[in-house]
Amino acid sequence: DAGVIQSPRHEVTEMGQEVTLRCKPISGHDYLFWYRQTMMRGLELLIYFNNNVPIDDSGMPEDRFSAKMPNASFSTLKIQPSEPRDSAVYFCASSGTGTYGYTFGSGTRLTVV
């Protein structure tokens, strides 16, 4: 089991550019979560999916953020256009229906300059 796989590990982009973060959950897990971690705000839930359907996107900061899960093995988080205040570590996590507690990926460190 390779765990939750996120790519890229690091992303540096210029303000105004589009950024796409990718996540492959653990096979068989039917919940997928996107979190953002910053020094000021800690760990914030952005959105989560169940069986590829978005359940709660109330944490998505604004329309510049969008997330998709086209199938059970892949999800993307897109920021367009990016701003310096989006700089953070973005984590993806997955969980199975019968289990509680997530398995986290290693995160993507996003820097917007």
Q: Are 52 and 72 in contact (CB under 8 A)?
A: yes
Find the shortest distance in angstroms from Cβ 20 to other proteins. 19
User: What residues line the site for other proteins (CB under 8 A)?
Assistant: 4, 31, 33, 42-43, 45, 48, 50, 55-56, 91, 93, 95, 100-107
Between 50 and 66, CB nearer to other proteins: 50
Joined tokens for residue 28: 């068989």
Between 50 and 76, CB nearer to other proteins: 50
> Pick from 9, 11, 4, 19: which is nearest to 74 by CA?
4
Q: Are 49 and 69 in contact (CB under 8 A)?
A: yes
Would you say the C-alpha torsion 111, 36, 10, 69 has a positive or negative sign? negative
Find the shortest distance in angstroms from Cβ 3 to other proteins. 9
Find the shortest distance in angstroms from Cβ 89 to other proteins. 9
